[in-house]
């Protein structure tokens, strides 16, 4: 059984993770390296090749590898390029899929990290039996990958699915990264949750909260989560507020593609029912009756530590023979 | 060359239009009848069969007809049913595609009217060379049809593309038909435009406007259009307000599927630049830089009187052989 394995590579701002995956989503071996040690992308590729060659030898050589899938910030599926990624050292347009293909002698294919997450759910996760679903990644930023008619939606230029940048509160909170006012990411990201808590603390000086034991600088999504788990009412309300905005946004997304499920992934999902309850309530409230009580709202089934490699590897199964 | 023609049927609340169309979008013959003359759908089908049989004979008989496409309110592509259409006399679930197929002896296929409009643009209109676009119909209501990866998006249940019901102003104007607050349809439909003018007239008693020559009951989208064409500042501002809200909504839609074009269709487009200028300005303002100045914003190229039949007939070319 040759070519029944795929390489998955997830390029993040700090770490690059890589692994070799079978069709069922078992990671046979994996590793990681720092992303930004090399000023030139060729230096990065040389180091990556060194690490991966050892793993590829372990699974019986390159003839067992069907292809290489890469999830990368600003990765464009159509061109195979990383285009102007703000968090990477290599500036401008990097033809990464082409360079990887030449280096390893197998086809390589690339997309952004949220699309890779959606393909991971499609191939190995909560969306295995679905043709229509949306994955929302709730981390430092808010990303999304949309599958309709059994295909990932790339849009005419490869940049579809930027749902984190939809305006949900016209004239609302400023997003310093984009200059937009009231985008979903300004509220439902880790930074958004932190800013909501800081606003609540500043606007309600008379409300007690264990968050007041921390300096402003110390308050982050982890501290807020721990306070909410201890029952701190203000911290709990931060999740209710965040969940309301996210739920209203999800209702709009349902009106677009009528998915069977919306799969939530990333840091914010650790809050469990504290976030899921208001999300579900406000999503349902904003849906037309024909959509109500039909859309499954679930957390990802993939282990967060494995998901990036799995998602990237799933791209390789998408390649035509 | 047999089977190179398609029947298109557009079932509206008042009229049912039908015609026979070739692959290039020429309507060879057509006709219309009243929709709600028959209490029972079988009576409706009998009359439709009578009219259409004459037309089918004119083009050489049923062996030249590849299939029948139907655009209908609440038409479900997957089931071929009209499901609980509020404006039709036949209540509940009507298996229209099945009944038509049996009656005429050729395959019949059905979808809602906005999806049919999108297929019409795809097959014969402004989107002939595109794989990713969105059609927005601006009439009594606001409908939409979304094509991505060269396929109409139906969603898992056949109800995708209800963009008129997206909430664009949380807590905004009440929509009596749905009970929602702040949906796009509450602003960008003919009723929405009328309500905006009535609000402006009531809230600004000192502003002169030729609209004040009319009673409240007389004010409708046609009267407002005529006043704006005469340069009436308040009427012009109604279009600017409507265009701003529509433009902001379109920006969110672009973030979803990154279409090559958005095609506007229906009554509101008669206002030309008065509506298009603010739509374009506010769409661009709300887009991420990667999407700016890329999305074509155009009016439909199809004659409004033909579009319904063309759109419905386009469904027939979608059928597998």
Give chain B positions within 8 Å (CB) of A282. Answer: none
The reply to whether A173 and A230 lie within a common domain is yes
Shared domain check, B71 and B45? yes
- B58 vs A13: which has the higher pLDDT: B58
Q: B179-188, pLDDT tens digit by residue?
A: 999 999 999 9
Is there a single domain that holds both residue B63 and residue B135? no
pLDDT given for residue A1 in this prediction: 46
Give the angle A14-A20-A22 at the CA atoms, nearest 5°.
Answer: 135
Choose among A116, A119, A70: nearest CA to A94: A70
Half-sphere exposure of A49 (CA within 13 A, CB side): 14
Q: In this predicted structure, what is the pLDDT of residue B1? A: 47
Residue-level pLDDT at B321: 57
Task: Specify whether the CB–CB gap between B31 and B25 falls below 8 A.
Answer: no
How many of the other CB atoms lie within 10 Å of CB of A30? 16
User: How does pLDDT run across A120-149, given as a tens digit for each residue?
Assistant: 999 999 999 999 999 999 998 999 999 999
What pLDDT does A171 receive?
96
Confidence of residue A64 (pLDDT cuts 50, 70, 90): very high
Give A162 to chain B, closest Cα distance, Å: 5
**Rounded mean pLDDT of A98-108?**
96
Mutate to test the interface with B, among A170, A174, A253 (most CBs of B within 10 A): A170
Burial of B86 (C-beta count, 10 Å sphere; 0-12/13-18/19+): exposed
All residues of chain B having their beta carbon less than 8 Å from the beta carbon of residue A146 are 256-257
* Interchain CB contact of A165 with B (< 8 Å): yes
Q: Is the pLDDT of residue B308 over 90?
A: no
Name the band, by pLDDT with cuts 50, 70 and 90, for residue B305: confident
Q: What is the model's pLDDT at position B2?
A: 55
> Could you count the other beta carbons within 10 Å of the beta carbon of residue B215?
7
Residue A81 belongs to what domain range?
A: 5-121+305-318
The total number of structural domains that make up chain B: 2
Tell me, yes or no, whether A285 and A162 share the same domain: yes
* Residues with Cβ within 8 Å of residue B139, at least 6 apart in sequence: B189, B190, B266, B267, B268
- Residue B290 to residue A248, Cβ atoms within 8 A: no
Same domain, B147 and B94: no
Same domain, B258 and B181: yes
Instruction: Establish if B149 touches chain A: CB-CB under 8 angstroms.
Output: yes
The arithmetic mean of pLDDT across residues A226-238, rounded, is: 97
| CB-based contact, A99 to chain B, within 8 Å | no
The stretch B197-225 carries a mean pLDDT of: 96
Containing H/E element for A72?
none
Degrees, nearest 5: CA angle A92-A94-A95: 145
Question: Do A159 and B251 lie within an 8 Å CB cutoff?
Answer: no
Interface test with B, best of A73, A146, A156, A185 (most B CBs within 10 A): A156
In angstroms, how far is CA A87 from the centroid of its own chain? 15
Confidence of residue B319 (pLDDT cuts 50, 70, 90): confident
Asked if A161's CB is within 8 angstroms of B130's CB, the reply is: no
CA distance B236 to chain A (A): 23
Q: What does the mean pLDDT of chain B come to?
A: 94
**Same domain flag for B295 and B313:** no
Q: How many percent of chain B have pLDDT more than 70?
A: 98
Residue B114 sits in the same domain as residue B208:
no
Mean pLDDT of B252-260: 97
Label residue A305 by pLDDT band (50, 70, 90): confident
> Which of A167, A169, A253 minimises the CB distance to B251?
A167
Same domain, A70 and A153: no
Does the structure show a pLDDT above 60 at B39?
yes
**Structure confidence at residue B35 (pLDDT):** 93
Q: Supply angle C-alpha A164, A69, B261, rounded to 5.
A: 45
Same domain, A168 and A276: yes
For residues B159 and B244, state if they share a domain: yes
B309/B290 same-domain check: no
- The C-alpha of B254 sits at a distance from chain A's nearest C-alpha, in angstroms, of 8
**Residues of B in Cβ contact (< 8 Å) with A257:** 146, 153, 155, 160-161, 256
In chain A, what is the greatest distance between 2 CA atoms, to the nearest angstrom?
A: 68
**B10: Cβ–Cβ under 8 A, 6 or more apart, which residues?**
B16, B17, B18, B70, B71, B72, B113, B116, B308, B309, B311, B312
Rounded distance, CA A21 to CA A3, Å? Answer: 11
Task: Tell me, yes or no, if A47 comes closer than 8 A to chain B by beta carbon.
Answer: no
pLDDT at A91 over 90: no
Using the beta-carbon criterion (under 8 Å), do A256 and B160 form an inter-chain contact? yes
CATH of the domain at B101: 3.30.420.40
Helices marked H in B111-163: 113-124
The residue of chain B nearest to residue A155, with distances taken between CA atoms, is: B258
Chain B residues with CB under 8 Å of A253 CB are 256
Q: Which residues of A touch B251 (CB under 8 A)?
A: 167
Report ipTM for this prediction.
Answer: 0.92
> H/E element holding A255?
helix A233-257
Mean of pLDDT values over B106-124: 94
A113 compared with B127, residue with greater pLDDT:
B127
Cα–Cα dist B96/B52, whole Å: 16
Whether the predicted pLDDT of A176 surpasses 90: yes
């Amino acid at each position: 059984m040759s070519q029944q394995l795929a390489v998955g590579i997830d390029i993040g701002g700090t770490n690059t993770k890589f692994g070799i995956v079978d069709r069922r989503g078992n990671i046979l071996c994996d590793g990681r390296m720092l992303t930004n040690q090399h000023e030139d992308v060729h230096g990065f590729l040389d180091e990556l090749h060194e690490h991966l060659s050892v793993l590829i030898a372990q699974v019986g050589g390159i003839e067992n590898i069907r292809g290489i899938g890469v999830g990368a910030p600003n990765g464009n599926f159509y061109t195979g390029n990383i285009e102007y990624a703000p968090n990477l050292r290599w500036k401008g347009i990097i033809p990464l899929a082409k360079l990887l293909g030449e280096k390893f002698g197998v086809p390589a294919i690339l997309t952004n990290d949220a699309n890779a997450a959606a393909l991971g759910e499609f191939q190995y996760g909560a969306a295995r039996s679905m043709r229509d679903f949306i994955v929302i990644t709730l981390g430092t930023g808010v990303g999304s990958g949309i599958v309709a008619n059994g295909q990932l939606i790339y849009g005419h230029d490869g940049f579809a699915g930027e749902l984190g940048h939809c305006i949900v509160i016209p004239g609302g909170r400023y997003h310093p990264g984009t200059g937009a006012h009231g985008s979903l990411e300004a509220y439902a990201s880790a930074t958004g949750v932190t800013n909501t808590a800081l606003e609540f603390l500043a606007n309600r000086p008379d409300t007690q909260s264990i968050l007041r034991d921390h300096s402003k600088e110390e308050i982050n999504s982890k501290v807020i989560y721990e306070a909410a788990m201890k029952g701190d009412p203000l911290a709990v309300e931060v999740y209710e507020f965040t969940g309301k905005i996210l739920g209203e946004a999800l209702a709009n997304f349902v009106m677009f593609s009528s998915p069977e499920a919306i799969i939530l992934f990333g840091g914010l999902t650790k809050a469990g029912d504290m976030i899921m309850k208001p999300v579900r309530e406000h999503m349902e409230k904003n849906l037309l009756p024909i959509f109500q009580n039909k859309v499954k709202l679930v957390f990802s089934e993939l282990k967060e530590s494995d998901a990036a490699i799995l998602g990237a590897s799933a791209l390789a199964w998408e390649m035509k023979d």
